[in-house]
Amino acid sequence: MDRLLVAADNVLRTLSGANHAGRASPSQHLGPDDERLSEADRRHAGGLMRVNHVGEVCAQALYQAQALTTRDPRLKQHFDRAAREETDHLAWTQQRLDELGASPSILNPLWFAGAFAIGLVAGRIGDATSLGFVVETERQVEQHLEGHLNALPAHDERSLAIVRQMKEDEARHAVDAQQAGAADLPPPVRWAMRAAAKVMTTTAYRV
């Protein structure tokens, strides 16, 4: 019951934007960029950072579901630790959206529910499969963040600093999950995950 209450609290904080980062934002040392970004640049950066914010909403859902379903205390700690770092990402991207005058996706509850369901199913199948979903998810996110480093306006230093740190963290999460005993997912599952991610990123850029 305690774990369910904690999970419910995390859901509310994730969807309400009430999460707080444990680490300072990578953009903290950079000055304001109001005069350097055109309105078009600001809209484009806002769309990309909205996509990144959605990715962190989904990461919270995935890790919370996996922490609920695993019976291995060490693995639960692994998921909880990764979720805390993803909370940093969630707070950083929320802050950047505010700075850009952009809003989070109105479909965040849907994205959260879908990722949570995937985490529950993977966890029920077994810890190795659950970790396999983490590896594949983090690898796809890392690739997607690399694309954003190229797509963001070159003078949007604040967004770029955040995305670089996120990419570094996601790569480490994939390695950690692999070392913890992740199973390789079948190709059709990986393809389905990529297709779902494409729908999510395309939609979240706009709404």
- How much is the pLDDT for 89? 93
State yes or no: pLDDT of 101 exceeds 90.
Answer: yes
- How much is the pLDDT for 9? 53
Contacts of 193 (CB under 8 A, 6+ apart): 133, 136, 137, 140, 185
- How much is the pLDDT for 10? 64
Start-end of H helices in 26-181: 39-69, 73-100, 108-125, 127-151, 157-179
- How much is the pLDDT for 13? 57
Domains defined along the chain, listed by start: 38-206 (1.20.1260.10)
Higher pLDDT, 89 or 19: 89
- Rg of the Cα trace of the chain? 17
- How much is the pLDDT for 17? 64
Which range is least confidently modeled, 3-12, 34-43, 82-91, 166-175?
3-12
Residue with tokens 């998810």: 137
Share of the chain above pLDDT 90, in %: 55
Averaged pLDDT, 77-100: 89
pLDDT digits (tens, 9 = 90+) for 25-40: 999 888 777 677 899 9
- How much is the pLDDT for 195? 92
- How much is the pLDDT for 85? 86
Averaged pLDDT, 30-53: 89
Q: What is the DSSP string of 33-63?
A: -TTTS-HHHHHHHHHHHHHHHHHHHHHHHHH
Phi then psi dihedrals of residue 155, to 5 deg: -95, 10
pLDDT digits (tens, 9 = 90+) for 162-188: 999 999 999 999 999 999 899 999 999
15: closest CA among 141, 128, 127, 111? 111
Q: pLDDT-based confidence at 7, cuts 50/70/90?
A: low
